[in-house]
């Protein structure tokens, strides 16, 4: 059985679209869709008709990962330029830029409380197998989570315990971390 899409937007970006996320609704607006592209832009979309409602620029290379804060008010985008940009959804203003050297980020996620942003990929969740953890309110690097011997390709916070972070790696391992700095081993 084949199912067709409900809605489609041709040429949503000028180049390949590599990432998408849902932005939760707030008291003043409905949920939105967030997309990132190799065209160096992040776009916001109204899901009812796939209407664009905003474009965020500023990355120097393609956007490979986006994440939405659980409040629906903030989003983060990561690019091959080694930077993570956090911006306000409603004003489209960049709040902070976090450096994630020396290489690209492949995935990131806010914890369910919205206090921590975990970043994984080529460097931050890097070839050495670490994941970088940032304090969202202070826009400050906190620490690395270790345990993998190869690139971390995926990560996800528990919906039950906001400290618990699951990481998956090229080294064939899955590790549960306490994102506040202690391992659950």
Number of domains in the chain: 1
pTM of the model: 0.85
Q: What is the pLDDT of residue 115?
A: 93
Mean pLDDT computed over every residue of the chain: 87
Task: Look at residues 141, 143, 140 and name the one whose alpha carbon lies nearest to residue 182.
Answer: 143
pLDDT tens digits, 24-67: 999 999 999 999 999 999 999 999 888 999 999 988 889 989 99
The parent domain of residue 40 ranges over 17-178
Strand partners, 87: 75, 94
Task: Look at residues 138, 106, 142 and name the one whose alpha carbon lies nearest to residue 125.
Answer: 106
Asked, for residue 10, whether it belongs to a domain, the answer is no
CATH number at residue 121: 2.130.10.10
């Amino acid at each position: 059985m084949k199912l067709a899409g409900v809605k489609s937007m041709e040429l949503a970006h000028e180049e390949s679209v590599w990432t998408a996320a849902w932005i939760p609704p707030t008291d003043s607006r409905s949920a939105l869709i967030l997309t990132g592209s190799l065209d160096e832009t992040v776009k916001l979309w109204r899901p009812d008709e796939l209407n664009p409602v905003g474009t965020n620029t500023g990355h120097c290379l393609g956007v490979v990962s986006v994440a939405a804060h659980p409040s629906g008010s903030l989003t983060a985008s990561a690019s091959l330029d080694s930077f993570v940009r956090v911006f306000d959804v409603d004003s489209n203003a960049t709040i902070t830029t976090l450096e994630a050297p020396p290489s690209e980020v492949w995935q990131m996620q806010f914890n369910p409380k919205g206090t921590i942003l975990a970043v994984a990929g080529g460097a931050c969740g890097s070839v050495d197998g670490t994941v970088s953890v940032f304090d969202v309110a202070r826009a400050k690097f906190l620490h690395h989570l270790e345990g993998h011997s190869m690139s971390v390709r995926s990560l996800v916070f528990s919906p039950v315990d906001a400290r618990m972070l699951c990481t998956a790696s090229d080294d064939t391992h899955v590790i549960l971390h306490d994102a506040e700095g202690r391992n659950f081993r």
